[in-house]
Amino acid sequence: MKRTFLFLLSVSLFSTGFAQKKYNPTWESIDSRPIPTWFTDAKFGIFIHWGLYAVPAWGPVGKEWPVYSKYAEWYWYRMQSDSSKVGNAFRAFHAKTYGPNFRYQDFANSFKAELFNPDQWADLFAASGAKYVVLTSKHHEGFTLWPSKESWNWNAVDVGPHRDLAGDLTRAVKKKGLHMGFYYSLYEWYNPLYHTNVGRYVDEHMLPQLKDLVTRYSPDVVWPDGEWEHPSSTWKSTDFLAWLYNESPVRETVVVNDRWGKETRSKHGGYYTTEYDLIGDVNSKEIKMAHPWEECRGIGGSFGYNRAETLQEYESSASLVHLLIERVAKGGNLLLDIGPAADGTIPVIMQQRLLDMGRWLQANGEAIYGTQAWSKVPQAKKEATQFFTQKGQDLYVLCTTFPTAPIVVENVGKPSRVSLLGSKAVVQSTAGNGGVTIIPPDLKPGETGEYAWVFKLEGVH
Which of 141, 220, 225, 326 contacts ligand GLC by CB under 6 A?
225
Determine the size of the site formed for ligand GLC (CB under 6 A).
7
Report, in Å, the least distance between residue 226 CB and ligand GLC. Answer: 6
Q: Closest separation between CB of residue 190 and ligand GLC, Å? A: 15
Comparison of 183 and 314: residue with beta carbon closer to ligand GLC: 183
**Given the complex with ligand GLC, which of 139 and 353 has the nearer CB atom?**
139
Which range binds ligand GLC by CB under 6 A, 66-74, 171-179, 209-217, 310-318? Answer: 66-74
Residue 19, C-beta contacts closer than 8 angstroms, at least 6 positions apart: 10, 13
The nearest distance, CB 253 to ligand GLC, in angstroms, is 22
Distance in angstroms (rounded) separating the CA atoms of residues 284 and 296: 12
54 binds ligand GLC per the rule CB under 6 A: no
Q: Are 187 and 227 in contact (CB under 8 A)?
A: yes
Q: Does residue 182 belong to the site contacting ligand GLC (CB under 6 A)?
A: no
The residue from 275, 295, 309, 356 that contacts ligand GLC (CB under 6 A) is 275
Calpha distance 89→216 (Å, rounded) = 40
Q: Which backbone phi and psi does 387 adopt, to 5 degrees?
A: -130, 160
Asked if 293 is part of the footprint of ligand GLC (rule: CB under 6 A), the reply reads no
Q: Please report whether residue 90 would count as binding ligand GLC according to CB under 6 A.
A: no
Closer to ligand GLC at the Cβ: 73 or 356? 73
- Kindly state whether residue 187 participates in binding ligand GLC, applying the rule CB under 6 A: no
SS3 of the chain: helix, strand, coil, percent, to 5: 35, 20, 45
CA nearest to 409, candidates 433, 384, 441: 433
- Residue 11 CA to residue 365 CA, distance in Å, equals 32
Q: Taking CB under 6 A as the rule, does residue 258 contact ligand GLC?
A: no
The beta strands (E) that lie in 129-226 are given as 132-138, 179-185, 221-225
Interface stretch with ligand GLC, choices 69-77, 87-95, 234-242, 342-350 (CB under 6 A): 69-77
The minimum distance between CB 351 and ligand GLC, in angstroms, equals 21
141 touches ligand GLC by CB under 6 A: no
Using CB under 6 A as the binding rule, whether residue 71 contacts ligand GLC is answered as yes
C-alpha to C-alpha distance for 426 and 276, rounded to whole angstroms? 39
- Using CB under 6 A as the binding rule, whether residue 303 contacts ligand GLC is answered as yes
Q: Which is nearer to ligand GLC, 58 or 396 (CB)?
A: 58
Residue 62 vs 280, nearer CB to ligand GLC:
280
Residue least distant from ligand GLC (Cβ)? 275
Distance, CA of 428 to CA of 448 (rounded, Å): 16
User: Rounded to the nearest whole angstrom, what is the least distance from the CB of residue 71 to ligand GLC in the complex?
Assistant: 5
- Concatenating the DSSP letter of every residue in 382-438 gives TT--EEEEEETTEEEEEESS---S-EEEES----SEEEETT-----EEEEETTEEEE
- Nearest to ligand GLC of 71, 240 (CB atom): 71
Q: Which range touches ligand GLC (CB under 6 A), out of 70-78, 119-127, 325-333, 416-424?
A: 70-78
Contact 292, 336 (CB under 8 A): no
Taking the C-alpha atoms of residue 51 and residue 166, their distance in angstroms, rounded to an integer, is: 11
Q: How far apart are CA 202 and CA 174, in angstroms?
A: 30
Number of H helices, E strands in the chain: 14, 18
**Per CB under 6 A, which region of 68-76, 86-94, 206-214, 349-357 contacts ligand GLC?**
68-76
DSSP structural state of residue 144: B
Interface residue list for ligand GLC (CB under 6 A): 71, 73-74, 225, 275, 296, 303
